Amino acid sequence: MLNTERAEEVTILYSKDGHTTAKLYTKKFIHIENTDPTYIEMKEGIKVEFFDDSLFVKSTLTAKYGKYFENSGNVLVRDSVVVSNNKKETLHTEELVWSEKLKKMYTDKFVKITTPTQVIFGDGLESNQTFSVYKITNVKGMIGISNKALPIQ
Residue 58's alpha-carbon distances to 80, 110, 120, in angstroms, are: 20, 23, 21
Give per-residue pLDDT as tens, 60-98: 999 999 999 988 889 999 999 999 999 999 999 999 999
Q: How much is the pTM? A: 0.86
Alpha carbons 46 and 40: distance in angstroms, whole number: 12
Find the angle CA(115)-CA(65)-CA(2) to the nearest 5 degrees: 160
Residues 6+ apart with CB under 8 A from 60: 47, 48, 49, 50, 83, 84
* DSSP code, position 145: -
Its CATH architecture, for the domain 4-144, is Sandwich (2.60)
Structure confidence at residue 153 (pLDDT): 54
- List per-residue pLDDT tens for the chain, 153 residues long: 456 788 888 898 888 788 888 999 999 988 888 788 889 999 999 999 999 888 899 999 999 999 999 888 899 999 999 999 999 999 999 999 999 889 899 999 999 999 999 999 999 999 999 999 999 999 988 878 766 544 555
